Amino acid sequence: MSKNYVIGFPRIGEKRELKKALESFWEGGCEFSEVRKVAKELRKRHLLYQKNSKIEYISVNDFSFYDNMLDTALMINAVSKRFKGIEDKTELYFAMARGRDDLKALEMTKWFNTNYHYIVPELSENDEYRADISKIEEEYKEAKELGINPKINIIGPITFAALSKREDGGDTFEFFEKILRVYEDVVRKISKLDKEIILQIEEPIFVKDLNSKVLSLIKPSYDRLSKAADNIKIALITYFEHAKEAVKILVNTPVWAIGLDFVYGKENIEILNYFKNSDKVLIAGVVDGRNVWINDIEKSVKLLENISKYIPKQKIIPSTSCSLLHVPFTLKYEKRLDNKIKSMLSFAVEKLEELNLISKIFFEEKLDEKEEKALAKNKEAMKLKNSFSQKREDLKKKAENLSFDRELEFKDRIKIQHSILKYPILPTTTIGSFPQTKEIREVRRKFKDSLISKEEYEEAIKKYIDEAIAFQEEIGLDILVHGEPERGDMVEYFGSLLEGFAFSENGWVQSYGSRCVKPPLIYKEVYRKEPMTLKWITYAQSRTKKIVKGMLTGPVTILNWSFVRDDREKKDVAFEIALAIREEVEDLQNSGIKIIQVDEAAFKEGYPLREDKIKDYEKWAVESFKLSVSLAKPQTQIHTHMCYSDFNDIIKTIEAMDADVISIETARSGNELLKVFKRVGYTREIGPGVYDIHSPRIPSVEEMQKQIESFLEVLPKEQLWINPDCGLKTRKWKEVKESLKNMVKAAKRVRDS
């Protein structure tokens, strides 16, 4: 068997079995023992998938009922005060993950620049850490029973400390010593499980720009962890970027192997000479763990050969670039996907085969018949994939000489806009969507499955719009929306209408807990075939004398929430999408739509992990947005919306986007995070959310009045818009009606006071 290594495997199940079991348990539909049974079965299947694909280094403890950071917190007994009394382990686990009626859940945030969200542990001075490896032990035994000698995955102490927060305020590294000590205990306990064990310690934090304090912790930590038990070999794994600074230190520690990502950290190739006088094994991430396209096998083998100029072949283990958690499970169930497109794709299970092929070829082992076939198929598919990278000349032409800038500067535009739009001070509006009722979802589904005619479908959508418009007029909102009944998802909707996108049926990726997302696939050049929203927005506008705001999703958000081809620059794809949105903006404007909102909900998500790469991202991201709206006439008002509240780091970039109005998600942070707008002298108009739409609670008039008044302490009334903090599609009509009524009243009271 040739050597190869999988950093981690998806756990939600090929048919999202874990999701279903968990959700049934949460709703009281089954006992937890039932979930355990499903989980055990899944783990077994996942191990066998890997074993049968001839993977040598297979993980345990990559499974989780909710999240690995949460598991790590429990592995060392880092339980914040408010959960302390909960005896039952299962109850404690899910209380920390999801909260309880009487208890706030731990915070959740994005895992580096992926769309996976981890639970943020809360540490405090008085914590007493204790090593509990029962979960690891259980999974280790399961693997052994299947004849697998697994490696054991844990998140490293430095990453754990860096990503946790202090319950009592302050720096988590202040008591790093305590954390390290319990990790030593973990290592010792694990060492008892077998004669010899490989322990995969993941330190993805090493790919960020580390300060000297954190850097100084690396050597002592890994000296000590390596010495904690002599039958343990540590594989120190990094991913998502290069880890230059850390590698330089790690080669001088006793760790057995270092894992580097050569897909997303191309610079790692420049630091291979650090390995020269060391005995370290290199775990070489060459199979993309974050994207869904087939691997160019020849290219990967070449890359490995390149690496072997610095490191002897027998010290190299080909690997996935990161855990396969970030890609969908298998292509097996894709029945509707075009066969050509399908042949260009590789999900987790298919990546195992790729990895096996790559390592066999690299180590010059004979391929069996099946493998020969797979290799031939790969070559064919690569050809096909490359043939899809052709671009249309006419589109290229069209994109030349377009200006990123609008005709007039903001200060001149806004005067014209005020004279035409005539909205009052503190104008009220919403972010776009209204409740996605069961009926409207059903209408969309039936239309998609051809169970109802186009006429019936359009009637239903129009009826929804009619009601939405009537309601908004009735409560006296100033700027109306059509309510987005035709869209389920803000990216999928545009993707399904644009050329260049494809959709899998079962390409689910875990986003958090039991939640999964199914990102669209951008498999070739993107362009607009026909208007996408025009019909609905103009219909809505025809039903009222008030202004209806047109609603589009921005290019950066569409890009960041899709799987983009790995052989294309993101920037180029973003520009293509921008051109498509631009055409839509033009159509809307020409049809008399006076305000157009281009949502960039996921703008911040695409930020690179390394400081020195941020400028470049910001440049093309801003340019894409600007390109999509720059043909708006001075009198057309451009709005954007972002699902964030903290703009401290990116305020200049937000300003550079040059939107006339931005709505943001400040409802939970009061006016604190708004201050940055004042500090930099931001002059454009802002709609900070006056209430939190993520909860069913109906905010009172007084409460929102206070919120608005607190905004006014920071920003002048001429600059403020009044709106909820995000779209209302996840809410019920009853909540929305009451809340918005109160919101309009609150705005009136402040205006009149």
Active site residues: 694
Q: How many angstroms separate the CA atoms of 358 and 83, rounded?
A: 47
> Does residue number 639 form part of the binding site for ligand GLN (CB under 6 A)?
no
Nearest residue to 199 via CA among 60, 3, 321: 60
Please, are residues 661 and 637 in contact by the beta-carbon 8 Å criterion?
A: yes
Beta-carbon-side half-sphere exposure of residue 28 (alpha carbons within 13 Å): 0
- Site size with ligand GLN, rule: CB under 6 A: 13
- Reduced 3-state DSSP string for 45-70: HHHHHHHHCCCCECEECCCCCCCHHH
Nearer to Zn ion, 216 or 730 (CB): 730
Give the 3-state secondary structure of residue 483: strand
For the chain, how big is the Rg over CA atoms in Å?
27
The stretch among 39-47, 256-264, 325-333, 429-437 that binds ligand GLN (CB under 6 A) is: 429-437
CB of 503 to ligand GLN, least distance (A): 19
> Does residue number 599 form part of the binding site for ligand GLN (CB under 6 A)?
yes
> Does residue number 96 form part of the binding site for ligand GLN (CB under 6 A)?
no
Nearer to ligand GLN, 535 or 678 (CB): 535
> Does residue number 117 form part of the binding site for ligand GLN (CB under 6 A)?
no
Q: Which residue is nearest to ligand GLN (CB)?
A: 727
The stretch among 146-154, 310-318, 610-618, 721-729 that binds ligand GLN (CB under 6 A) is: 721-729
Nearer to ligand GLN, 154 or 465 (CB): 465
- Picked from Zn ion, ligand GLN, none, the partner binding residue 729 (CB below 5 to 8 A depending on kind) is ligand GLN
Q: How many angstroms separate the CA atoms of 283 and 265, rounded?
A: 13
Q: In this structure, what token pair is assigned to residue 669? A: 């942070």
Question: Which of 143, 601, 632, 650: binder of ligand GLN (CB under 6 A)?
Answer: 601
CB of 642 to ligand GLN, least distance (A): 7
Nearest residue to 382 via CA among 374, 371, 370: 374
Binding mask 544-563 for ligand GLN (x = CB under 6 A): -------x------------
Please, are residues 363 and 2 in contact by the beta-carbon 8 Å criterion?
A: yes
> Does residue number 228 form part of the binding site for ligand GLN (CB under 6 A)?
no
Interface with Zn ion in residues 633-662 (CB under 5 A): 643
Interface with ligand GLN in residues 157-186 (CB under 6 A): none
- Picked from ligand GLN, Zn ion, none, the partner binding residue 602 (CB below 5 to 8 A depending on kind) is none
**Locus of tokens 């807990």:** 513
- Reduced 3-state DSSP string for 344-377: CECCHHHHHHHHHHHHHHHCCCCCCHHHHHHHHH
Q: What are phi and psi of 114, to 5 degrees?
A: -95, 180
Please, are residues 92 and 86 in contact by the beta-carbon 8 Å criterion?
A: yes
- Picked from Zn ion, ligand GLN, none, the partner binding residue 2 (CB below 5 to 8 A depending on kind) is none
- Picked from Zn ion, ligand GLN, none, the partner binding residue 432 (CB below 5 to 8 A depending on kind) is ligand GLN
Q: In this structure, what token pair is assigned to residue 214? A: 């954190």
CB of 601 to ligand GLN, least distance (A): 4
Nearer to ligand GLN, 52 or 730 (CB): 730
Question: Which of 345, 361, 431, 747: binder of ligand GLN (CB under 6 A)?
Answer: 431
Nearest residue to 308 via CA among 351, 262, 252: 262
List residues bridging with 261 in a β-sheet: 285
Question: Which of 10, 13, 204, 432: binder of ligand GLN (CB under 6 A)?
Answer: 432
Q: What residue type is assigned to position 517 of the chain?
A: V
- Picked from ligand GLN, Zn ion, none, the partner binding residue 599 (CB below 5 to 8 A depending on kind) is ligand GLN
Q: How many angstroms separate the CA atoms of 240 and 257, rounded?
A: 18
Contacts of 647-656 with CB under 8 Å at 24 or more apart are 647/673, 647/676, 647/677, 648/673, 648/676, 650/604, 650/618, 651/676, 651/677, 651/680, 651/682, 652/680, 653/618, 653/621, 653/622, 654/682, 655/680, 655/682, 655/684, 656/618, 656/622
Question: Which of 729, 731, 736, 739: binder of ligand GLN (CB under 6 A)?
Answer: 729
Q: Where are the beta strands (DSSP E) in 434-529?
A: 479-480, 498-502, 509-512, 515-517, 521-528
**CA distances to 216, 337, 639, 688 from 685, in Å:** 45, 44, 9, 10
Beta-carbon-side half-sphere exposure of residue 672 (alpha carbons within 13 Å): 6
Interface with Zn ion in residues 693-732 (CB under 5 A): 726
Interface with ligand GLN in residues 52-71 (CB under 6 A): none
> Does residue number 522 form part of the binding site for Zn ion (CB under 5 A)?
no
Nearer to ligand GLN, 346 or 723 (CB): 723
- Neighbour tally for 376: CB within 10 Å: 10
Please, are residues 264 and 566 in contact by the beta-carbon 8 Å criterion?
A: no
Interface with Zn ion in residues 317-336 (CB under 5 A): none
Nearer to ligand GLN, 43 or 549 (CB): 549
The stretch among 252-260, 379-387, 626-634, 722-730 that binds ligand GLN (CB under 6 A) is: 722-730
Nearer to Zn ion, 630 or 653 (CB): 653
Binding mask 470-489 for ligand GLN (x = CB under 6 A): --------------x-----
> Does residue number 288 form part of the binding site for ligand GLN (CB under 6 A)?
no
Nearer to Zn ion, 643 or 740 (CB): 643
CB of 468 to ligand GLN, least distance (A): 12
* DSSP H or E segment with residue 437: none
CB of 433 to ligand GLN, least distance (A): 3
Question: Which of 217, 502, 522, 726: binder of ligand GLN (CB under 6 A)?
Answer: 726
CB of 695 to ligand GLN, least distance (A): 16
Question: Which of 355, 490, 609, 632: binder of ligand GLN (CB under 6 A)?
Answer: 490
The Cα angle at residue 158 between residues 510 and 516, in degrees rounded to 5: 5
Nearest residue to 75 via CA among 132, 115, 29, 127: 132
Nearer to ligand GLN, 300 or 433 (CB): 433
- Picked from ligand GLN, Zn ion, none, the partner binding residue 524 (CB below 5 to 8 A depending on kind) is none
Nearer to ligand GLN, 38 or 643 (CB): 643
Nearest residue to 641 via CA among 577, 556, 575: 556
Interface with Zn ion in residues 128-187 (CB under 5 A): none
CB of 688 to Zn ion, least distance (A): 12
Judging by beta carbons within 10 Å of its beta carbon (0-12, 13-18, 19+), is residue 6 exposed, middle or buried? buried
Binding mask 641-680 for ligand GLN (x = CB under 6 A): x-x-------------------------------------
Sequential DSSP letters for 160-212 = HHHH-EETTSS-GGGGHHHHHHHHHHHHHHHHTTSSSEEEEEE-GGGGS---H
Q: How many angstroms separate the CA atoms of 292 and 349, rounded?
A: 11
CB of 601 to Zn ion, least distance (A): 5
- Picked from ligand GLN, Zn ion, none, the partner binding residue 243 (CB below 5 to 8 A depending on kind) is none
Nearer to ligand GLN, 154 or 661 (CB): 661
End-to-end CA distance of the chain: 79
Nearer to Zn ion, 58 or 643 (CB): 643
**CA distances to 45, 199, 203, 558 from 492, in Å:** 31, 40, 34, 8
> Does residue number 638 form part of the binding site for ligand GLN (CB under 6 A)?
no
By CB under 5 A, name the binding residues for Zn ion: 643, 726
By CB under 6 A, name the binding residues for ligand GLN: 431-433, 484, 490, 551, 599, 601, 641, 643, 726-727, 729
